[in-house]
Amino acid sequence: MNALLVAGTTSDAGKSVLVAALCRWLARRGAEVAPFKAQNMSNNSLVTPGGGEIGRAQALQAAAAGVEPTVRFNPVLLKPGSDRSSQVVVLGEVAGEVTAMSYRDRKAALLDTVVSTLDELRAEYDYVICEGAGSPAEINLRAHDIANMGLARAAGLPTLVIGDIDRGGVFAQLFGTLALLDPADQALVTGFVVNKFRGDPGLLDPGLDQLRALTGRPVHGVLPWSEELWLDAEDSLSYVADGVVGRPAPPMGQQWLRVAVPRLPRISNATDVEALAAEPGVSVRFVTEPSRLADADLVVLPGSKSTAADLEWLRGSGLADAIGQHAAAGLPVAGICGGFQMLTRRIVDSVESGATVAGFGLLDLEIEFAPAKTLARPTGTAFGEPVAGYEIHHGRAVRRGDGLSPLVILPGGEPEGGIDGSVVGTHWHGLFENDSFRREFLHWAAEQAGRSGFVPASGTAFAELRQAQLDLLGDLVERHLDTDALLRLLDRGVPNGLPVLSPGLSVAGDGDRGRIRK
């Protein structure tokens, strides 16, 4: 036995963070450890060195474990393009479009893929830390589940349930999650973790004691709230509309640089702007209505899983007009992937929306979508600095205007992206993580915006900031969780004789409801 599953009471309860933390803790003990998420639904993804696509959270967890990311860490990735359909990626490659109902019919075959992939990892690594999806108590989905208790049952995984106390109601969440599971699933739930607690942990003790008495399971620890943890949010819902990203440090000069990022309905790789937010004096804010652009120095249009639909949303919300006015005033606008495509003259999309739409017309080129998705990890130079990034898109830049300068020059001299006055765009994700380029870009943006009092910091190293956060996660596990109990679960598996709670919806008599059955 060398694996466990981290499930959550809700989405964004802290599953991804806890998996990364456990990976870091184990790696620092000298173990070879791998993360695993059977099925991820996210438009935040990354290209592995092998050329496949996985969720960004699994790439971060791989960094925590000190191993290269691989498609086996996230064998099934769902990328929602609308409320009813998603692109499905299996072992890094696009495997068609699915609706909620049609995907249900594919899950039996995918469960075989998931379990066999997990078996491979368990044979190669000392430990595998698995992450669930959403909540295991989504009982309407249990019959076809491959990510939570369906995976735990198939692979015999001891399961931890984590709940976010900052949202309130954590004891009801933890108890209710367990009580809604059927007896065979409950038998695999071995304990709980409370996340994001603020204050004196002693105040929690009476509740923790009662939860143990009610469920017969321990609380393995209480993780405190940490202001320092904000990078690499797994769920784009973590980015509050009209909220500042990160913890901006005071400016090096006399002025701030204010960055506005439209929070698109189908936003992808929202984490691209985090490297900007890590810079002193740079205030990055996600926005959803046009007044928030009035005092912005720089507008960054992020990636999108459905470029044409999100462009229509921008126009309907009034943000498109505000962006046009911003650019007309000579203020800087940057587009990344789908955002870059929106800045062009025209988008011919025969893949995602089946539509041909006019773009903003701020960059003199056109975009045509191809059936085959581009997945690449290119290198080049931009603003005279060496850069690396990754590409995940169907769109191709065609009919490039003669007067348009490239943003990035590839090793063979080919152009990528474009720059025209105060407008820049690129298909590359991760470009802002290149420290020297980011400093040059911020200097350019401040100059375009007339912010002569803004001074880019000279020493921000984004990769080191990420590693420091991963070390902080490992520290939190060591200080606040019962690591001996966690090692016992990893080494010995599920303990025998865990009690079963009668479900709240049981037809049993009221006197039996909610009690433990031995």
Give yes or no: residues 163 and 275 share one domain. Answer: no
- Please check whether residue 476 lies inside any domain of the structure: no
Task: Output the pLDDT for position 232.
Answer: 64
**Phi, psi angles (nearest 5°) of residue 55:** -65, 145
Q: In whole angstroms, what is the distance from residue 77 CA to residue 71 CA?
A: 10
Among the residue ranges 41-45, 281-285, 440-444, the one predicted with the least confidence is: 41-45
pLDDT tens digit string along 97-145? 888 788 888 888 899 999 999 999 999 999 999 999 999 999 998 999 9
**Phi, psi angles (nearest 5°) of residue 317:** -85, -10
- Please check whether residue 477 lies inside any domain of the structure: no
Task: Output the pLDDT for position 355.
Answer: 86
- Please check whether residue 127 lies inside any domain of the structure: yes
Point out the domain boundary residue: 421, 440, 465. 465
Give yes or no: residues 314 and 434 share one domain. Answer: yes
- Please check whether residue 359 lies inside any domain of the structure: yes
* 23 given a catalytic annotation: no
Query: For every residue of 122-174, which 3-state class applies, written as one string?
Result: HHHCCEEEEECCCCCCCCCCHHHCCCCHHHHHHHCCCEEEEEEHHHCCHHHHH
pLDDT at 394 over 60: yes
**Alpha-carbon distances of 160 from 48, 73, 152, 153, 339, rounded to whole Å:** 28, 19, 11, 14, 39
Average pLDDT, the chain: 91
Task: Output the pLDDT for position 240.
Answer: 53
Percent of the chain clearing pLDDT 70 (strictly above): 94
Give yes or no: residues 459 and 511 share one domain. Answer: no
pLDDT at 241 over 70: no
- Please check whether residue 370 lies inside any domain of the structure: yes
- Please check whether residue 136 lies inside any domain of the structure: yes
23, 337, 394, 427: which is the annotated catalytic residue? Answer: 337
Q: In whole angstroms, what is the distance from residue 14 CA to residue 4 CA?
A: 16
Give yes or no: residues 461 and 486 share one domain. Answer: no
Percent of the chain clearing pLDDT 90 (strictly above): 80
Q: In whole angstroms, what is the distance from residue 73 CA to residue 94 CA?
A: 16
DSSP 8-state class, residue 399: S
pLDDT at 237 over 80: no
pLDDT tens digit string along 334-378? 999 999 999 999 999 988 888 899 999 999 999 999 999 999 999
Among the residue ranges 94-98, 255-259, 438-442, 513-517, the one predicted with the least confidence is: 513-517
Give yes or no: residues 490 and 427 share one domain. Answer: no
For the beta carbon of residue 378, count every other beta carbon within 10 angstroms: 18
pLDDT at 511 over 80: no
Give the neighbor-by-neighbor strand order of the sheet with 257-262.
Answer: 282-287, 257-262, 298-301, 333-336, 423-426, 418-420
* 130 given a catalytic annotation: no
Q: In whole angstroms, what is the distance from residue 473 CA to residue 7 CA?
A: 18
CB 44 within 8 A of CB 55: yes
CB 499 within 8 A of CB 216: yes
Tell me, what CATH number does 26's domain have? Answer: 3.40.50.300
Give yes or no: residues 457 and 505 share one domain. Answer: no
Tell me, what CATH number does 289's domain have? Answer: 3.40.50.880
Give yes or no: residues 504 and 454 share one domain. Answer: no
220, 326, 427, 429: which is the annotated catalytic residue? Answer: 429
Give yes or no: residues 204 and 325 share one domain. Answer: no
pLDDT tens digit string along 421-433? 999 999 999 999 9
Among the residue ranges 82-91, 124-133, 446-455, the one predicted with the least confidence is: 82-91
- Please check whether residue 230 lies inside any domain of the structure: no
Give yes or no: residues 341 and 459 share one domain. Answer: yes
Give yes or no: residues 493 and 428 share one domain. Answer: no
Q: Are β-strands 385-388 and 45-47 bridged in parallel, bridged antiparallel, or unpaired?
A: unpaired
**Residue range 253-270: average pLDDT?**
95
Task: Output the pLDDT for position 108.
Answer: 85
Confidence tier at 235 by pLDDT (50, 70, 90)? low
Domain residues for the domain of 12 are 3-225+482-517
Query: Domain count of the chain?
Result: 2
- Please check whether residue 45 lies inside any domain of the structure: yes
CB 41 within 8 A of CB 78: yes
C-alpha torsion angle, residues 12, 15, 21, 26 (rounded to 10): -170
Give yes or no: residues 148 and 57 share one domain. Answer: yes
Task: Output the pLDDT for position 503.
Answer: 65
**Residue range 377-381: average pLDDT?**
97
Q: pTM score, two decimals?
A: 0.91
Residue from 256, 308, 266, 314 nearest 290 by CA: 314
For the beta carbon of residue 181, count every other beta carbon within 10 angstroms: 25
Give yes or no: residues 195 and 56 share one domain. Answer: yes
